[in-house]
Structure 1
Amino acid sequence: MAKLFTYGFWNTLAGIILRNRLAIIIGIIIVTVLFGFQWKNMRFSFTEANLLPDDHPVNQEYQEFLDHFGEEGNLIVIATNDPDLFTPEKFNAWNKLADTLQQFDQVEQVIGLGNLKTLEKKENPGRFEFTPFLTKPLKTQKQVDSIKKVLFENLPFYKGLVYSKNTKTVQTALYIDKAIVNKKGRRDFIVNKLQPTLEKFRNSNDLEIHVSGMPYIRTLNAQNIIDEIGIFVLLALLVTSVIFFFFFRSFRATFISLLTVIIGVMWSFGVIGLLNYEITVLTAIIPPLIIVIGIPNCIFLINKYQQEIKNHGNKAKSLQRVIAKIGNATLMTNVTTASGFATFILTESKLLKEFGLVASINIIAIFILSLLIIPIAYSYMQHPKPKHLKHLGKTWLDSFVRWMEQKVRFHRITIYLTSVGLLIVSIIGIYQIKVSGSILDDMPKNTTFFKDIRFFEEEFDGILPLEIMVDTKRKKGVLKSATLKRMEQFQELIIDEEKLSDPLSVVNVVKYSKQAYFNGNPKYYQLPKSNEQNFILSYAKNMKGTDNLLNAYVDSTGQYARITTFMKEVTTAEIERIEANLLEKTEKIFPKERYTISLTGKALIFQKGTDYLIKNLIVSLSLAILLIALFMAWMFRSFRMILISIIPNLLPLLVTAGMMGFVGIPIKPSTILVFSIAFGISVDDTIHFLAKYRQELKANHWKIRRSVYAALRETAVSMFYTSIVLFFGFSVFMTSSFGGTVALGGLVSATLLFAMLSNLLLLPSLLLSLERSIANKRVLREPSLKIIEPKDDEIEEAENDIST
C-alpha cells in the first residue's frame, strides 16, 4: 500500500494518461452518456424527510397507527374570513366550490358549507341519519343570516373543522385519496387541478382565500426544491467561473474547469438515478456541492501547471509534474472530504445513508475527472501566454503571503492567544445553541403557502397533525362509558395546551349523537350519562355507509381509538414539554394495565428525527475525525502531527458553533450537516500544506523552520484561491428560499474562511513551536506515505518517456 502512492506510481500514471488521451476522452464521453440514460430513474421525494431508522420505536408506533387508521396526512383545508362571504351571491359560490372539488377522482370527501350534513334522529327503526344542511341555493340575505346563526350556535361538532367560532372564519375540509398522499399523483392533482380551480374561483368571486394542509404544504415545498436545484447549479457555475476567471484571467482555463464540473454534475445525477434514490432536500444539494468542491481541484492542477510553465517552459515536463505532484495531494484531500461524507453511511438513517453514499462517490468521481480532463486538455493546447501567468506574481497576493509569514515568524504568541480567546468565546456561544425540530422551520417564509400556514395557526390553532392512539386492549372497548369519559378528560388537557388545537375524536361524535337524540339542542352536546348511553349508541350503530363518523376515529375492531389535534409551529423544547406533560397525565387518566397510549404523527416523528440526527452528528463527526487522524498517523507516524493537523480544523468548527449560538441559528437537520461538510473540506488545506512541507523537509535537509516558511509561501496562494472559491460557492446556497439551506451556505462559507486562516497561521505556528520535539524524535523521517521529491535522473527519464 505504501508503494502505491510513491512518485513512481504517479509518474507511471502520468505516462498512461498522456499516452492514451483519445481513449480516455472517448471513455469519459461513453460513461457520461451511460449516466445520462440513468436520469430517467430519478424521482423527487413526495414524503417528509424521515430521519429515523425503520426499526426505531417511534417509527414502529407510527406504522402501527397507519395499520389501524391509514394515512393521516390527507387533509387539505381552504378557508376565508372575507366579510363578503355571507352574502347570497358569494355564499352560494363558496358552496358550489365544494361541489366542484368533490367531482375530482383524487378527492375522497369534502366537508364544507355546501355539502355539510347534520345528524338527525329517525324512528322505525331508531337510527341517526345525515341530512343536508343546505337543500338549495340561498336567495335572500335573511336566509344567509339564519344559516349563519345555526352554524355558529347550534353545531359545535363542526367547530375547528368547518368554522372558527372566535373570528367567524369558514373553511372547507378536503380529504384526498390516501393512495396518492405519498406519490406523484398528489402533486399532479394539487398543481394541475386544485390550484387552477381555486385560482379561477378567487378571480371570479373576488374572495380572499387561504389554502393549507400537509399534502398541500409538502407539494409546494417539494416544488420549491425542484425549482431551486437548477438555480443552484447555474449560480454555482456562474459564481465559481467568475471568481476563477478573476484569478487566472484565462478563458480557456475557465472553460476547461467548467467543462470538468459540468460533467461531474451530470455524473452525480446519473449516480442518483443508478442507485434509484429519490431527490430529497439533502441529495438536492449534491450537484452544486460537486461544482464547489470540483473547482478547487481544478485550481490546484492548473495553478501547478502554470507555475511549471513559468519556471522552465517545458509542456511535457509540466503536465507530468502536475499529475505526479498535485495528483497525489489532491487524491488525499478528496479522500478526506469523501470520508467526511461517507461517515453518514454508518448511521442507521436511510436518508443520511443515501446522502453520504452519493456525495462520497461523486467527490471521488470529480477528482478522477479533474485529474484526467485538465492535463489532457492542456496537452492539446498551446503554451499559456504571458498574460495568463501574470496572476502568479500579483503584488497584492505577494503582500498577503508576506503578511502571513510575518505573523507566523514574529507573532506566534498573538496567534495562540487569539485562538484561545476564540475558543473561550465559542464555548460560551455553544451553550446558547437551541435545537429546532419543527417541520416548518426550513420552509420558505416569503411564499404564499407559508403565509397561509400562519393564517391557519391564528384561526384554527395549527396545521401540523399530532395523533394520540388509545389501545383499550379489548375489542369494542372504545365505546365503553369509562373509556369515553377518560378520553374526554384527556382532551381537556389538550385544550389547555396553548400550542394545540381543540381535538377531534369519537368523543365528539358521541357528544353529537346525544345532541341529535335530543333534537339538535346544542346544550346536549355532551357525553351521555350511563343510563343514556345504551339507547343513544344503539341509534349510532345503525348509521350506514361512509357517513358513519365512527369509522374515522375508531378502528374496525372497536379496540383502538384516535384523538387528532393540530399543532402550531413549535420548538423542539416545546414539543418535548408538551409530550412529557401529556404522557405524564395519561398515566393518571389511563391505567397502564388497561390502556396503552401512543403519541405519534408526522410532526412528532420529525422532531424525534432531529434528536436522532444530533446524536448521529456526534458519531459521524467523531468518525470523520478518527478517520483523518488515522490517515495522518499512517502518513506521518507521529502523534504530535495528528494533533497539529486536527487542532487547526477543529477550532473553526467550534467558532462556527459558537457563532450559531450568538446569532440564534438553531441546530436542525439542515444546519447539522455544516460540521461534517466543513471539516471534511477544511482538512484539505492541511493536507496540501503538510504535503508540501514534507517535500521541503527533504529538500532542506530536515530543517523545519526553513521548510515551514517555504511550504507557507508555495501553498498560501492556492489555499487562498480555493478558499475564496469555496466561500463564494457555498454562499450561493444563501440565495435559497429555505431557511435551513441559507444557514447551511452561510455557516459552511464562514467555517471554511476561518479554516483557511487557521491553516495558514495556526498550523505553521504549531509546527514551529514543536520544532525541537519533532526534530529530536525524527518523527517525520520515514512516513508511510511517500510524498517527497524524486531524484533528478528519475524525473528526466520519466519526462523524456512522456515526451516521446
Structure 2
Amino acid sequence: MLKWLNTSFWDYIASKILRNRIFLLVLVLLFTLFMAFQWKNIRFTFTEANLLPDDHEVNIQYNSFLDKFGEEGNLIVLGFKDEKFFTEKNIRAWEKFVSNIRKDKAVELTISIEDLKVLSKDTLAQKFKLVPFINNDSISDAYLKQKEAEFFTDLPFYEGMLFNKKSGAVRFAIYLDKKIVNTKARKEFIEKYLSAEKINAFEQETNLDLRVSGMPYIRTLNANSITEEIGLFVGAALGITSLLFFFFFRSIRATLISMSVVIIGVMWSFGTLGLLNYEITVLTAIIPPLIIVIGIPNCIFLINKYQSEIRNHGNKAKSLQRVIAKVGNSTLMTNLTTAAGFGTFIFTDSKLLKEFGVVASLNIVFLFFLCLIIIPIAYSYMPLPKEKHLAHLGKNYMASFLNWIENTVKNRRVTIFAFVISLLVLGVIGITKIKVSGSIIEDMPKKAAFFEDIVFYEQEFDGVMPLEIVVDTKRPKGALKAATLLKIEELQETIEEIPELSKPVSIVNVVKYSKQAFYNGNPDFYELPTKQEEVFILSYIKNSVQKGNENMLKSYVDSTGQYARITTFMRDIGTDKMEKIELRLQDKIDHIFPKERYEVTLTGKAYVFEKGTHYLIGNLVQSLLFAILLIALLMAYLFRSFKMIIVSLIPNLLPLIMTAGLMGYFGIPIKPSTILVFSIAFGISVDDTIHFLAKYRQELIANNWKIKRSVYATLKEAGISMFYTSVVLFFGFSVFTLSSFGGTVALGGLVATTLLFAMLSNLILLPALLLALEKTIANKEEFIEPKIDILAQGKDEEKSNKK
C-alpha cells in the first residue's frame, strides 16, 4: 500500500492534473475570485498588540483598571517650545485651531490655554470652583505676558503636565471619548483635525513648531505607516524575485508563470485574512510578501526539474508527468516543514501569534497546490524550451561553485569541522551577551515626524507611554484618608527620583492644589494639609464634588473612593531598565503600604507590553523546540533512520546558533520582532536538507550504496536548485530591510542571514557529515525503506537500476 503511495499515487495525481487542465484552471480562477471578495472584510487593528492571553493575571489587572478609570490611552498632547506663543496673534490662531476640535463629539475634554481652569475658593458656599485662567475679553500682548509669568510660577499643579518650568516648553491636552479610542473613528478624527496639512498650515500662520503626540495619534500614524509598507514590501519582493528568477533561468515565460503563481498566492493570503475576519497587524502585514519569497523556491524546483527532463530526453509529456510524480512529494514535504515552522505559533497563548501562524501556514500549503497545478498546466500549453532557456543548467559559474564545494568537502573535512566547532563556540558566547528588550514605540519608524515629536516629549516631559499604579485601600472612601494621602505622596517622591519617569499625578496633587486655592492661590501652600487644616479643606473638597464638580476627582479616585490612581509617563526604555524600575517601585510599595491594609498593583500599556515581551519569549522558545521536534519526527517518518535525523538537524541548528550569537555581538536584542526569526528560518532552511537527503538516498540506491559517489552526485544534482532558492530567499527577505520599522528590518536581515548560513551549512557541512559517517551508515539497514519516498523513481529509472 505504502509503495503504491510512493509511485503510483503521484503518477495518478500527475495524470489527473494533466487530463483536467481546463477544469483545474477554472477552479483556481473561481477560488481566486472568492478570496478576492473576502477583501471587503479586511481591516487594520486599532489597538496595540497584546502579547498576553486574556486570562493572564497582568491582563486581568489591566482590564480591572480600565473598568474603574476607563481607557488610559485617550490623551493627545499638542505643544511648543517657543516664547512667541504667548502673544495675541498666536493665541488667537491657536484658539481658532482648537475651537473646531473642542466642538467635535469625539472629544471628551480639552485643556487649552483659553479653557484652562484654575481652582478658586468660594468662601460663602464653602467650596472650590473652577474659573478660567484667561479672560478672553482682556487678551492683549501685555496681558498675556503677565499671564505667562503666572502660568509658570503660580500653577505647580500643572507643572510636568502642561509646562516644563526649566525649559519653558508648554503642552495642552485633548482627551478623546474613551469609546472611540480603539475604533475607526479615532483614525477619522486624527485625519480630520491633526493631518500634516492642518499642522503645516497652523505652523506657517504662527511661525511656531507644533509638536503632536499621545497614544491615539501615535497609533494612528504608525498604523498608516504599516499599511503603506505592505505595498512597498509586495512590490519590492516581486521585483527582486522576478529579476533573480530571470537572471537564473533567462526565460521570460518561466518568470511570468512564477510571478503569476505568487501573485495569486498573495491574493489568497489577503482573502484568508478577510475570510477568517482577522485584523491586519504588524505581523500579519508581512505575510503577503512572505508568500512571494517562499513561493518562488517552489517554482524554481519545479521548473528546474522540468527543464532538466527536457534536456535529458526532449519529451514534453513525460517531462511534465515526472515534474509532478518525482518532485510532488519533495515539494509537499518542504512546504509542510515550512508551514510547521510558522504553524508552531498556533500553539502559543498569544492571539497575535496564533493568527499569524494560522494565516501563514495555511497559505504556504495553498502555495504547494498552486505551484503543482499552474506550472505543469502552463507549460503543457507552451512549446518546448529553447536551448538558451536550458543553458543555465550548465553555467560556468555554477559549475565552478559546485566544484569548489566538492573539493572542499572532499579534501578539507577536518578544516570544515574545526571551523564549525569554532563558530559554535563563538555563537554560544554571543548568545550569553543577548539582552531582552520590549517597548511599544521602540520599533516605530525613527525618521517619521511623529517619532521626532515622541523624542521631543521625552526630553521635555519625560515620555508619552502611560504607567499606572492602582492603590486599593480595601474600604470605601479610603483613598481620601490622610494616612493614605501621605503614603501616596511618599511613593510619588520615589517616582520623581527616577529619571525615566515623568512627574506623577494623583489625588495627592488635587488635595495639594486645594490647599493652595484655600490660601487664595499662593503657590507656597501647594502641599498636603496639616491635621488642623484637613477638616476645613477636605470639607471644601466634599462640597465641591457634591455640587456637580465630580471631574475634580473622577480621574484620580474611583466612584467608591476605595481605589486611587497614580499616573506617570515613561521614556522609551528597554525591558531591562523597565524591570529595574519595577523592582525599585515594588520595594518602595512593599515598604510603604502594609499588605493587610492595602493592595497596590502596577499596570498600564507600557507595563503590559513589557510583561508580554517576556511571556512571548518563553512561548516562542517552546514553539521553536516544538518545531525542532516536529520536523525531527517528520524526518524520522521520511528516512526511518535515527542517525539521519541527527545528521539532518545539525546543519540547521548551527545557523540558528550563529545568528543568535551575532545578535549578542552586535547588540540586537531579543524582542517580539526578532524572536520570530528562529522558528521561521528553521522551518525554511530544513527544506534544503530534505531535498538533499532525498536525492542522496536515491543516488545511494542507484550507486549500490556507495557513499562518496552518491554524495558528490547529489551535490551536482541538487546543488543548483539549493543555490538558486537560497539566493532568492536571501534577497527576498532582505526587502524587509527597506522598512522604516526597526523590528521589521531586524526580522528581514536576521532571517536572510540565517538562511545564507543554512545554505552553506547544507551544501558543505551536511555532505561532510555524510562522508564522515561513511562507515556507520554505509549499509541498507540504516536506510530502512521510508514510509514516503520523497523523490519517487519513474518506471524508466527503476528498470535502469535493476539492470
Tell me the TM-score normalised to structure 1 length: 0.97
How do residues 128-143 of structure 1 correspond to structure 2 at under 5 angstroms? 128-136=128-136, 138-143=138-143
Question: SS at the partner of 2:478?
Answer: coil
Question: CA-to-partner distance for each residue in 1:325-369, whole Å, 9 max, x for gaps?
Answer: 111111110000000111111111111111111100000001110
Tell me, in whole angstroms, the C-alpha distance in 2 between the residues paired with 1:734 and 1:2: 45
CA apart distance, 1:138: 5.0
Q: Does 1:594 align with 2:597?
A: yes
Q: Does 1:59 align with 2:59?
A: yes
Contact 1:473 1:595 in 2 (8 A): yes
Aligned twin of 2:157 = 157
Question: CA-to-partner distance for each residue in 1:242-274, whole Å, 9 max, x for gaps?
Answer: 100011111100000000000000000011111
With 556-565 and 422-431 compared, the bigger mean Cα shift is at 422-431
Question: SS at the partner of 1:113?
Answer: coil
Aligned twin of 1:112 = 112
Tell me, in whole angstroms, the C-alpha distance in 2 between the residues paired with 1:193 and 1:780: 70
Contact 1:130 1:547 in 2 (8 A): no
Question: SS at the partner of 1:180?
Answer: coil
Tell me, in whole angstroms, the C-alpha distance in 2 between the residues paired with 1:335 and 1:614: 24
Q: Does 1:177 align with 2:172?
A: no
- Indicate the RMSD between aligned Cα atoms, in angstroms: 1.5
Q: Does 1:330 align with 2:331?
A: yes
CA apart distance, 1:794: 8.9
Contact 1:99 1:114 in 2 (8 A): no
Letter in 1 for 2:103: Q
Letter in 2 for 1:661: G
CA apart distance, 1:717: 0.5
Tell me, in whole angstroms, the C-alpha distance in 2 between the residues paired with 1:699 and 1:576: 61
CA apart distance, 1:415: 0.8
CA apart distance, 1:638: 1.4
CA apart distance, 1:4: 7.0
Aligned twin of 2:390 = 389
How do residues 402-551 of structure 1 correspond to structure 2 at under 5 angstroms? 402-543=403-544, 544-545=547-548, 548-551=551-554
CA apart distance, 1:533: 1.4
Question: CA-to-partner distance for each residue in 1:201-243, whole Å, 9 max, x for gaps?
Answer: 2222221110100111111001100000011001100110010
Tell me, in whole angstroms, the C-alpha distance in 2 between the residues paired with 1:793 and 1:718: 23
Letter in 1 for 2:419: T
CA apart distance, 1:124: 3.0
Q: Does 1:39 align with 2:39?
A: yes
Tell me, in whole angstroms, the C-alpha distance in 2 between the residues paired with 1:792 and 1:360: 34
Question: SS at the partner of 2:503?
Answer: coil
Aligned twin of 2:731 = 728
CA apart distance, 1:786: 2.1
Contact 1:555 1:561 in 2 (8 A): yes
Question: SS at the partner of 2:670?
Answer: coil
Q: Does 1:200 align with 2:201?
A: yes
Contact 1:436 1:571 in 2 (8 A): yes
Contact 1:467 1:562 in 2 (8 A): yes
Letter in 2 for 1:508: N
Question: SS at the partner of 1:121?
Answer: strand
Question: SS at the partner of 1:179?
Answer: coil
How do residues 403-802 of structure 1 correspond to structure 2 at under 5 angstroms? 403-543=404-544, 544-545=547-548, 548-776=551-779, 778-787=781-790, 789-790=792-793, 792=795
Contact 1:5 1:328 in 2 (8 A): no
| Corresponding residue pairs, total | 797
Contact 1:5 1:785 in 2 (8 A): yes
Letter in 1 for 2:9: F
With 81-90 and 755-764 compared, the bigger mean Cα shift is at 81-90
Tell me, in whole angstroms, the C-alpha distance in 1 between the residues paired with 2:163 and 2:792: 79
Q: Does 1:80 align with 2:80?
A: yes
Letter in 1 for 2:496: I
How do residues 282-293 of structure 1 correspond to structure 2 at under 5 angstroms? 282-293=283-294
Question: CA-to-partner distance for each residue in 1:423-456, whole Å, 9 max, x for gaps?
Answer: 1111111111111111111000001000100000
Aligned twin of 1:94 = 94
Tell me, in whole angstroms, the C-alpha distance in 2 between the residues paired with 1:224 and 1:560: 39
CA apart distance, 1:463: 0.8
Q: Does 1:213 align with 2:214?
A: yes
Contact 2:472 2:598 in 1 (8 A): yes
Question: SS at the partner of 1:381?
Answer: coil
Tell me, in whole angstroms, the C-alpha distance in 2 between the residues paired with 1:601 and 1:228: 29
* Structure 1 unaligned regions, length at least 5: 797-804
Tell me, in whole angstroms, the C-alpha distance in 2 between the residues paired with 1:145 and 1:29: 71
Aligned twin of 2:11 = 11
Question: CA-to-partner distance for each residue in 1:475-495, whole Å, 9 max, x for gaps?
Answer: 110000000110001100100
Aligned twin of 1:799 = none
Letter in 2 for 1:713: K
Tell me, in whole angstroms, the C-alpha distance in 1 between the residues paired with 2:234 and 2:680: 18
Contact 1:505 1:553 in 2 (8 A): yes
CA apart distance, 1:3: 4.7
**Measured at CA, do residues 232 and 788 of structure 1 come closer, stay the same or move farther in structure 2, by a change above 3 Å?**
closer
CA apart distance, 1:535: 2.0
Aligned twin of 2:238 = 237
CA apart distance, 1:777: 6.8
Question: SS at the partner of 1:664?
Answer: coil
Query: Alignment identity in percent?
Result: 61
Question: SS at the partner of 1:772?
Answer: coil
Letter in 2 for 1:500: L
Letter in 1 for 2:292: I
Letter in 2 for 1:136: N
CA apart distance, 1:766: 0.6
CA apart distance, 1:712: 0.9
CA apart distance, 1:707: 1.0
